[in-house]
Amino acid sequence: MVAEQDGRDQDRPVLITGGAGFIGANLAHRLLAEGRSVLVYDNLSRPGSRQNLQWLLEQHRGRVQVEVADVRDRQALRRAVQPAGQVYHLAAQVAVTTSLVDPISDFEINAGGALNLLEALRALPDPPPVIFTSTNKVYGALEDLRLVRGQTRYEPAELSVRACGIAEDRPLDFHSPYGCSKGAAELYVRDYARTFGVPTVVFRMSCIYGPRQFGTEDQGWVAHFLIRAIEGEPIIVYGDGLQVRDLLYVDDLVDALLLAGQYVHVLSGRAFNIGGGPDHTTSLLELIDLIAELRGARPEVRFGAWRQGDQRYYVSNTTRFSAVTGWAPKVGVREGVEQLYQWLLESRGILPVPRRAAKAVS
Question: pLDDT by residue (tens digit) across 298-313?
Answer: 999 999 999 888 999 9
pLDDT (average), residues 251-256 = 98
Give me the catalytic one of 88, 139, 154, 178: 178
Among 83, 66, 8, 27, smallest CA distance to 212 is for 27
CB 200 within 8 A of CB 194: no
* Per-residue model confidence as pLDDT tens digits over 61-70: 888 999 999 9
Parse the chain into domains and list their residue ranges: 7-357
Q: What was the pLDDT predicted at 358?
A: 40
Report the predicted TM-score, pTM, of the whole model to 2 decimal places. Answer: 0.94
More confident residue, 117 or 361: 117
Is residue 249 annotated as part of the catalytic site, yes or no? no
CA distance 298 to 285: 11
Q: What was the pLDDT predicted at 359?
A: 37
- Coil, helix or strand at residue 166: strand
* Per-residue model confidence as pLDDT tens digits over 26-55: 999 999 999 999 999 999 999 899 999 999
Q: Is residue 2 predicted with pLDDT exceeding 60?
A: no
For the purposes of burial, counting CB atoms within 10 Å of the CB of 173, is it exposed (0-12), middle (13-18) or buried (19 or more)?
middle
Q: What residues form DSSP beta bridges with 202?
A: 132, 271
- Residue ranges of the alpha helices (H) in 128-175? 159-164
CA dist 324 to 7, 8, 253, 321, Å?
21, 23, 16, 6
Neighbours of 97 (CB within 10 A): 14
Cβ contacts of residue 176 below 8 Å, gap of 6+? 96, 99, 100, 137, 308, 309
To 10 degrees, the CA torsion angle through 8, 9, 10, 15?
A: 150
pLDDT (average), residues 218-240 = 95
CATH architecture of 7-357: 3-Layer(aba) Sandwich (3.40)
